[in-house]
Amino acid sequence: MNTAATTSAITYIDGDAGILRYRGYPIEQLAQHSSFLEVSYLLIYGNLPTPTELEEFDQKIRRHTLLHEELKGFFGGFPRDAHPMPVLSSAVSALSTFYQDSLDPFNAEHVEVSTIRLMAKLPVIAAYAHKKSIGQPMLYPDNSMNLVENFLRLSFGLPAEQYEMDPVVVKALDLLLILHADHEQNCSTSTVRLVGSSNANLFASVSAGINALFGPAHGGANEAVLKMLRQIQADGIKPEDYMEKVKNKEDGVRLMGFGHRVYKNYDPRAKIIKATAHEVLGKLGGNDELLDIAMRLEEKALADDYFIQRKLYPNVDFYTGLIYKAMGFPEKMFTVLFAIDASRAGLPSGAK
């Protein structure tokens, strides 16, 4: 538990003070002033891009959005009610069967093109996993759009209709992708590193990381939070009574979206996300009752000795599910939205 596998020049976390920085930039600053694409560039290459560098990076990604037609056939092999996370990890693993000539982890060009392919294709695969689960046709990417816009259109668009892009949704999703972009040596990143240390290719390593993210103690918590809130609503339980169940550890029940292995203070991402939840639900209309339940749970927890003594605060997942739901994503897609950030796991040779 106290043994770090490496030091990171990418992310700095001070869990006791609630500080998170990417490449030295405070997360609050990046959330306010940067786009997801800029932050991705920062994480991969170590510096924020100039306008020309950003444009080139963006164009490279747009060029690689198409999935091989044979890979699309893959989606038909899963049961209709398949969870999109294993669909995603399987499709990412399958990428290595389509790009066999550029898989060498010691070849900087191979790693770079694989990273760009992952960034471009992972949102497309994620959107197709969603379309598969609701039985709708899969659209081709539209490369006049940026990565976030394309993902939304592929997730919600229909062939015969013009997809109306909501700027509130685009901005909020861009922000959420920034906030989930890196978190040093968490379970999924450590998994990618472990598999990669055997000199496995990038797609194989990232596919393993996606599976690690699936668990409810990690990325799966965003789905688990919404299930918990809905259960409380459906059963008509008072948040205070639910807290008693948690504190008495009845059936091992935990307050999902609370506690963190590293943060023993308010997760700085949760602060930003809480404000966004109010903004998005205010503009799009969402289930206000669920937001009220979440806020009452948080209020009770922050004043309760059980949580104070154990230093349990809301984490990144506590409010995200409510936002994703207001955007129109089903619960099964929540962890997939987190997984889209796995695309930058590859780093060009020389980057640390």
Site for ligand CMC, rule CB under 6 A? 186, 217-219, 221, 246, 254-261, 310, 312, 315-317
Does 260 participate in catalysis according to the annotation? yes
CA–CA distance, 249 with 243 (Å, rounded to integer): 10
Burial class (CB within 10 angstroms; exposed 0-12, middle 13-18, buried 19+) of 34: buried
| Residue 123 near residue 340, CB atoms below 8 Å | yes
Supply the minimum distance, in Å, between the C-beta of residue 317 and ligand CMC: 5
Supply the minimum distance, in Å, between the C-beta of residue 313 and ligand CMC: 10
Of 302, 307, 294, 284, nearest to 229 by C-alpha is 294
Supply the minimum distance, in Å, between the C-beta of residue 306 and ligand CMC: 7
Of residues 158 and 308, the one with the C-beta less far from ligand CMC: 308
Of residues 112 and 341, the one with the C-beta less far from ligand CMC: 341
Of the candidates 260, 292, 305, 341, the residue annotated as catalytic is 260
Supply the minimum distance, in Å, between the C-beta of residue 219 and ligand CMC: 5
Does 278 participate in catalysis according to the annotation? no
From residue 52, give the alpha-carbon distance in Å to each of 38, 112, 192, 210, 270. 12, 18, 31, 32, 33
Task: Give the other-Cβ count within 10 Å of 259's Cβ.
Answer: 20
Residue 259 in tokens: 């506690």
Residue nearest to ligand CMC (CB): 259
Supply the minimum distance, in Å, between the C-beta of residue 213 and ligand CMC: 7
Of the candidates 174, 182, 267, 317, the residue annotated as catalytic is 317
Of residues 116 and 255, the one with the C-beta less far from ligand CMC: 255
Here the contacts of 31-37 (C-beta below 8 Å, separation 24 or greater) are 31/175, 31/178, 31/179, 31/272, 34/178, 35/174, 35/178, 36/147, 36/148, 36/174, 36/175, 36/177, 36/178, 36/181, 37/61, 37/146, 37/147
For the sheet with 19-22, list strands across it. 11-14, 19-22, 25-26
Residue 135 in tokens: 């039985």
Of residues 219 and 346, the one with the C-beta less far from ligand CMC: 219
Of residues 156 and 307, the one with the C-beta less far from ligand CMC: 307
Supply the minimum distance, in Å, between the C-beta of residue 301 and ligand CMC: 8
Of residues 126 and 246, the one with the C-beta less far from ligand CMC: 246
Active site (catalytic) residues: 260, 317
